[in-house]
A and B are shown apart, each in its own frame.
Chain A
């Protein structure tokens, strides 16, 4: 199975300031079609996870442009340009290249 490792585990943030989360995969997530099969999800308190970023760098519908994703085959980053209070929750990366799909351990973002 592909192992996903996230850091940090916890991320205190200040509204208006930038924030960054890292995710590393044990194998390259670059498909032969050129896409990187890495997604980012946010689970807000008491809610189901919601898709933020798909295929490494594409914002899902309705996601504010302060969120951005980037990365190579094994190292990925989620950036929030200016954190807002509504961004608190647990962020997960997930590899969708090869079943079983696997998630990172999560990063808890709190104000």
Chain B
């Protein structure tokens, strides 16, 4: 069965620090990859997605992620975090060519940014 691992459960950073959140998946075939963010009290929002093409994907709010097929990874990065980035971040995968159907989510990483 497909699984998505996010090894960092809670990350605490000071403002302006760089961020990298890990995401690994276990599926050998074609995958579509997503990062979602959930701000306190709000619904899930899409940060960025990878379907095909350039493995370095740029999303909203200065976030980017790199798909490394050989490592089954899709890590999220931001060069300089802000207090407003405090949120829960979820990596998600859909197998095959199903677009955004059948999303499998990781357990999430809570990011706390200290002013």
Q: Do A and B come from one complex?
A: no
Residue numbers of B with Cβ under 8 A of A are none
Residue numbers of A with Cβ under 8 A of B are none
